[in-house]
Amino acid sequence: MANLFDILPRGFFNYLGSSANNRVYADCLELIYEAYDREVSYRIPRSTLRDILAAYLMDNHIELREEGEEGLDKYQMASAILRRFTDPNVHWLEEESDDATYEKQIVMSEHGIALAEFLLSLRRPEKEEYAGYIIQIYLLLNNPELLREEPYVNVLRPVHRNAKLLARSLKRLSTFIRDIIEEMVHEESLESITENLIAYCEGSFIREYTRLIRQQNIHTYRALVREKLESMRTDTELMERMTASLMAEEGMGRIAAEDQILDMISSTIRFLYTDYDQIMSDIRHKINLYMQLHIGHLRYLQNRDSHMRGHVQQAMRLLTEEFEALDMKDELPEDMNALFRMGGVRYVDTTSIKAKARQRRVTETEDETIEEMTAEDLALARDQQIHEAANPYSQKHMRAYLDTCFAGRDSLSAEDLPLDTPEDLLRGLSAIAYADQNGYTVEPGDTYVEAGRLILRNFELRRKP
């Protein structure tokens, strides 16, 4: 493994670690990177960058605290910063001269770009779209043109990379939730913990997580992705082409290339079917733990004031005992003696006894008139009871419903049933529930179908022999 400090210049991190102006230098590097980000290339006239840094120093009233730099104006300070960044021992920037105009140009070094992007990622992390990785994997594997042209470069490598990026993002989400829990337990006020709870519920990562487990559920694509990957592994001609492509790309031997391709396919399938479920289970556990801790902490803060009365009484009782032991009570003014009488009551009055509640006696009788129902009233009441007792999803109705849906078929899947309305969905679920009693077998599938706003697992119904 290459040593990082053999690659980077000797003073690459000095201005971020040991200088009194490390915050200023970090801000200046980010400003330079953002200026380059708006340009066609990482090359800008030195005067332009000097003006940008001088404006930053003036707007924030910053004075560089370096030896020998007293009395410099903001433009001189900006020039000094550029000289430090282009120093060979730092090498965040490179200085060149334009052959046509002889104007000095500043170019960001490769290491300087990487450092600036790292600082920006810490300051403003990008929002993750977890479902996008799954959709990208599905689209890549279902594009026959890409498989015909370059199956390794265009399909297998980006599929494996997207699976690793999704795993990395979900692990980062799990860690982020843990950090929120640790931060939450240090809250001191009811207002601050409530704001933390609201921020958590409205957080951007919660929306991404919700889309991942609902609209773009991995179970919708998982079986199809696995089928495509398994077919790639069993296709001898395709495996040969991918092996040759990997050998050319990485300069590897045939055996090592074959092992790496098989490992990429196996690790992708293992992540989608095993690791993904474990990570998501850990995330759900931490979300539940976070909410329970929040609720418990809220209850503690809410009830803490009610316990203060007991603390005050205990403190006053201790003070009373101390005053009696020191014989100081007689020296207090007479109007303050009542403050220390809470422990001196030695009698019980009627207000201290809870009287048993008396049972209410019937003192007056009431006569109720009973009206006899007519035959027409009886018929209406009977019809209403029959209508209320009717069950449209009973076993008998479901047998007739399935007999109608089969209509000569050997099998029936969820996709063949009408699922447009809530009544259709309830009818389909009831048909599955009574399938065994009505003479049908149910085989669950690996795919899912949409039923309105819900997702229903696919199934196959067959008549019992």
Q: What is the mean pLDDT of residues 40-63?
A: 86
Residue 349: pLDDT over 70: no
pLDDT, residue 343, reads 47
Predicted TM-score of the model (pTM): 0.47
pLDDT, residue 449, reads 76
Give which of 164, 14, 152, 161 is closest to 92, Cα–Cα: 14
Q: What is the mean pLDDT of residues 50-71?
A: 81
**If pLDDT is split at 50, 70 and 90, which confidence band does 178 have?**
low
**If pLDDT is split at 50, 70 and 90, which confidence band does 69 have?**
low
Residue 126: pLDDT over 70: no
**If pLDDT is split at 50, 70 and 90, which confidence band does 193 have?**
low
Q: Which residues contact 348 (CB under 8 A, 6 or more apart)?
A: none
User: How far, in Å, CA of 178 to CA of 184, rounded?
Assistant: 10
Q: What is the mean pLDDT of residues 229-256?
A: 88
* Angle 211-145-227 from CA coordinates, rounded to 5°: 55
Contact 264, 164 (CB under 8 A): no
Contact 56, 31 (CB under 8 A): yes
pLDDT, residue 263, reads 92
Chain centroid to Cα 448, Å, comes to 23
Q: Please tell me which of 144-148, 286-290, 406-410 the model is most confident about, judged by mean pLDDT.
A: 144-148
In angstroms, how far apart are the furthest CA atoms of the chain? Answer: 115
Residue 83: pLDDT over 50: yes
Write down all domains in the chain, each with its CATH number in brackets.
Answer: 4-123 (1.10.10.10), 130-303 (no CATH), 391-463 (3.30.1370)
Q: What is the mean pLDDT of residues 55-68?
A: 80
Mean pLDDT (the chain, rounded)? 77
Half-sphere CA count of 302, side-chain side, radius 13 A:
8
Summarised one tens digit per residue, pLDDT across range 309-347 is: 566 666 667 766 766 665 554 565 666 666 555 444 444
Q: Which residues contact 172 (CB under 8 A, 6 or more apart)?
A: 128
Residue 302: pLDDT over 80: no
Give which of 13, 14, 15, 270 is closest to 160, Cα–Cα: 270
Contact 208, 132 (CB under 8 A): no
